């Protein structure tokens, strides 16, 4: 064994390998390189997910999904398109978007179920529906301005994300991020306390 071999065995792979070497090892199927990439990038991935989702459990799930995606998609890494870190960040953004889309779908299902109940018994639900609108309007007013604007255009003017992007001049991804963050905050403040 030469001095290089002892240096590699005495230092963790993530400290002794460059990003390019990690990427090459990962593409070659080296699980140690995946572990090293996780040690090197998981904090950033988790932080991005937590900031976007506002939920530590969801951020953990996204972090796991990102590194599963890194492993499964390792043959798709192309260094000429960008750095290894940028590639991981791109996967992170897609997984965060997936999580937010799933959350939006869940909220839509809950809203749809609530609308169905209101339609089934309109006389019994009208006072509650009016109170719900007041509470939602109050909570919406507490959101940061960009989130409030996006959700207001979506709820009150029935605009799509694309239409909101055109009206505000913001990139579509930014509109979607504001919508998802705003919905997450609304959900957190409007969820009933079940006492469980």
Convert the pLDDT of each residue in 145-159 to its tens digit. 888 888 888 777 777
Taking residues 120-138, report their average pLDDT.
55
130 and 85 part of one domain: no
Question: Structurally, how many domains does the chain consist of?
Answer: 2
**What CATH number should be reported for the domain holding residue 147?**
1.10.10.10
Residue 129 pLDDT > 60: no
Convert the pLDDT of each residue in 31-75 to its tens digit. 999 999 999 999 999 999 999 888 888 899 999 999 999 999 999
Q: Nearest Cα to 94, choosing from 131, 48, 125?
A: 48
CB count within 10 Å of CB 117 equals 14
16 and 84 part of one domain: yes
pLDDT for 36 equals 92
Contacts of residue 99, defined as CB under 8 A and 6 or more positions apart, other chains included, come to 49, 53, 58, 61, 62
Segments forming the whole domain that contains residue 21 = 9-99
Tokens of 40: 């090197």
Q: Are 26 and 70 in contact (CB under 8 A)?
A: yes
- Of 68, 99, 130, the one marking the end of a domain is 99
Any domain includes 44: yes
89 and 126 part of one domain: no
DSSP state of 191: S
Residue 115 pLDDT > 80: no
Q: E strand or H helix at 135, and its extent? A: helix 122-141
Convert the pLDDT of each residue in 79-110 to its tens digit. 888 889 999 999 999 999 988 888 787 777 66
Q: Are 48 and 96 in contact (CB under 8 A)?
A: yes
* Dist. CA 191–CA 110, nearest whole Å: 11
pLDDT for 1 equals 43
Any domain includes 65: yes
Q: pLDDT > 70: what percent of the chain?
A: 73
**Is the pTM of the predicted complex or chain greater than 0.85?**
no
Q: Nearest Cα to 111, choosing from 68, 69, 151?
A: 151
């Amino acid at each position: 064994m030469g001095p290089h071999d002892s240096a590699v065995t005495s230092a963790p792979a993530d400290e002794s390998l460059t990003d390019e070497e990690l990427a090459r090892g990962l593409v070659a199927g080296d699980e140690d390189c995946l572990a090293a990439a996780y040690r090197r990038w998981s904090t950033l991935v988790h932080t991005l997910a937590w900031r976007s989702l506002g939920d530590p459990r969801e951020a953990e799930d996204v972090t796991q999904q990102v590194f599963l995606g890194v492993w499964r998609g390792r043959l798709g890494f192309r260094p000429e398109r960008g750095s290894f870190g940028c590639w991981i960040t791109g996967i992170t953004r897609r997984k965060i978007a997936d999580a937010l889309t799933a959350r939006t779908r869940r909220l839509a299902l809950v809203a749809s179920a609530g609308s169905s109940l209101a339609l089934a018994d309109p006389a019994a639900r009208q006072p509650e529906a009016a109170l719900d609108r007041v509470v939602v309007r109050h909570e919406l007013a507490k959101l940061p301005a960009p989130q409030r604007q996006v959700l207001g255009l979506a709820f009150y003017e029935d605009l799509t994300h694309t239409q909101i992007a055109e009206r505000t001049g913001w990139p579509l991804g930014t509109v979607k991020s504001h919508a998802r963050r705003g919905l997450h905050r609304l959900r957190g403040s409007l969820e009933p306390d079940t006492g469980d």
